[in-house]
Chain A
Amino acid sequence: MYNFFDQLFVALGAWLVGLVVAAGNGVSKLCCGQPMSEAAAHNVAAGTQVVLICVTIYGVFALCFGLATWLERKMLARIQNRYGPNRVGPFGLLQFVADGVKMLTKEDIVPARADKLVHFLAPAIVLAPALLMFGFLPFGRNMAPTDLDTAVIAFFAVGAGSELALFMAGWGSRNKYSILGALRAVAQMISYEIPLVLAAVPVVMIVGSLSTSQIVAAQGTDSFLDVKGWFVWTPWGFAGFILFLIAATAESNRSPFDIPEGESEIIAGFHVEYSGFKFALFFMAEYLGMMAMAGLGVTLFLGGWHGPKLLPSWAWFMLKGFLIVCWLIWLRGTLPRLRVDQLMAFAWKAMLPFALFNIFATAVWFYLPKTTFLQSAVAWIITAALVVAAYLVISRFVSRRAGAPRVYRYAS
């Protein structure tokens, strides 16, 4: 029974592929009088699989995007003691449909002196990495869209592509707010990419592979509960997870790291000149990027699709992903926006050294013996002490500067 639900989509996919191949054979018989050759059948099956995966990812995550916007508005509203959307559909659940219709029907405005081609291409290019990133995450048992042995680095490489798109959007609009926002976005994302990658390095070190499937497999146990192996329970994993969450928040340009959009300073940053569906694409890219980051966080630290066998594996993955998304929303509802210099100083002076030290602590963990329970406990305590010590030291340096006044480089 459990296996049935667990493998429901896998079986469904296999059945659909079989259906398409059978149909192809039928067509082939009608046209040429004989079934497809072995190679042709293989190609058709592979092609169908690719199409299925793409359609599933688009469909599921477009839906998730909608739900996430609804969730965000609802949660923010409740944090601020409001109702949030509650008109369209039950609990306002269909609000995103209404929004989508609104976006689609709005006028598409292009500034007169904009760089038309760049302005046009940017929204499309910004969405592509966000969607591609899902291709490297295993969503459930036997449910990895791709199984690269370079998946983690591929994820980050694809993510790096979105910076350029943001810049194109900002520059193509020919608006000083949008160029400011774009440069802020690029500077921020390139700065936080480093702690982001370094936060993932410990996991790669321990697993010894860049493949997300193997990383997830390394966190699994055979038990019913299946939570013991999650990396987040280790000191370095916990520290890495926190680092990853912070860097992912910055990487997806979300509050409190939303200075590229900074409504009160630069109106909406790089997408100030976009309206209608192009704006919707930016919006979508932001949310999809956030969810992909959440998915990677789940994969690297929260055991991927492993979880107590009360729910199917894919449900666990989605649940954990949504928990991270909720955390990001909660954070947005709590913290005010950072200043640019604080943001940069935090990336380079706090997160980067801490991430490097976390790698060192991981190496210590790696070399400590962990065969008996006592040894594991000792290893845990030593590593935790290292991480906490590093945190204390770095926090002392960070706090020392916290109250200092802003130093202007050129203005004063």
Chain B
Amino acid sequence: MDTAFIILSLITVAGAVWAVTLRNLIHAVLSLVLFFFGIAGFFFYLNADFVGWVQILVYVGAVAILAIFAVMLTHNLTAEDEPGFFSLRWLTGMAIAATVGAVLWFAIRSNAAMSQTAPAGVASNVADIGRKMMTDWVVPFEVVSLLLTAAMIGAIVIAMEQISHRK
């Protein structure tokens, strides 16, 4: 474990925790952005530059903005009636999260391959990614492009519903 990892982990975990706990939705979204940047940092740390930049471009540039617009359009800036920390809801949530976490912990600890260190010289090259995407991964690529088109049309249609009713 080195310093960069620790700093990035702190940023990421803090962002994630704030994002799910803060009452003020805008603050939650901004914390989520912090989290996204942390994850992008991890991608850089893992020599996956392209994924990192895509992460920033898509999540910070689009998803976070989208979330902000959703918050703005729903006039629901603060979730006032959230239950408190020691409510049954939160305790159940924490219990479930702890259960799943325990399972994951168990799985990771029980696997010997987990203790290996990073091999040197592993880096992702944009040209290689492009080549893979157009050869081995062309079917997922096409499917995803179709999915994106469908999602785009779907999102527009869903959100336009009211207007089309007026006409």
Contact = CB atoms under 8 A, between A and B. Distances in A.
Question: Are the chains A and B members of one assembly?
Answer: yes
A190 B30 contact: no
Contact of B68 (A158, A161, A167, A409): A167
Contact of B57 (A148, A157, A186, A210): A157
B126 A161 contact: no
Interface string A165-180: 0011001000000010
B61 A150 contact: no
Nearest to A179: B72
Given A118-B30, A149-B125, A210-B126, A190 B53 contact: no
Given A157-B56, A193-B61, A208-B127, A168 B30 contact: yes
B57 A153 contact: yes
Interface string B131-167: 0000000000000000000000000000000010000
B42 interface: no
Interface residues of A, number: 27
Interface string B25-66: 011001001000000000000000110011011001110110
A208 B130 CA distance: 10
A164 interface: yes
Nearest to B125: A149
Contacts, number: 64
Given A164-B64, A190-B62, A210-B126, A171 B26 contact: yes
A190 B65 contact: yes
Contacts of B163: 409
Contacts of A167: 65, 68
Contacts of B27: 118
Contacts of B49: 148-150, 154
Contacts of A210: 126
B140 to A, nearest CB: 20
| B interface SS class | helix
A167 B27 CA distance: 12
B74 to A, nearest CB: 14
6 contacts: A115-B26, A148-B49, A154-B49, A164-B33, A164-B60, A209-B127
Contacts of A148: 49
Contacts of B26: 115, 118, 171
Given A150-B126, A409-B163, A163 B56 contact: no
Interface string A133-161: 00000000000000011100110111011
A190 B58 CA distance: 11
Contacts of A160: 56-57, 60-62
Nearest to A409: B163
A183 interface: yes
B15 to A, nearest CB: 13
Given A153-B53, A160-B56, A183 B61 contact: no
A142 to B, nearest CB: 22
Nearest to B72: A183
A156 B68 contact: no
Listed residue (A150, A186, A187) with the most chain B CB atoms within 10 angstroms of its CB? A150
Contacts of A118: 26-27, 30
Contacts of A157: 53-54, 56-57, 60-61
A115 B78 CA distance: 13
Nearest to B64: A164
Contacts of A208: 127
B160 to A, nearest CB: 10
B53 A154 contact: yes
B65 A164 contact: yes
A161 B59 CA distance: 10
B65 A163 contact: yes
Contacts of B68: 164, 167, 186
A115 B29 CA distance: 15
A209 B65 CA distance: 29
A168 B64 CA distance: 12
Nearest to A161: B60
A390 to B, nearest CB: 21
B126 A209 contact: yes
A186 B60 CA distance: 12
Interface string A324-354: 0000000000000000000000000000000
B126 A158 contact: no
A35 B157 CA distance: 69
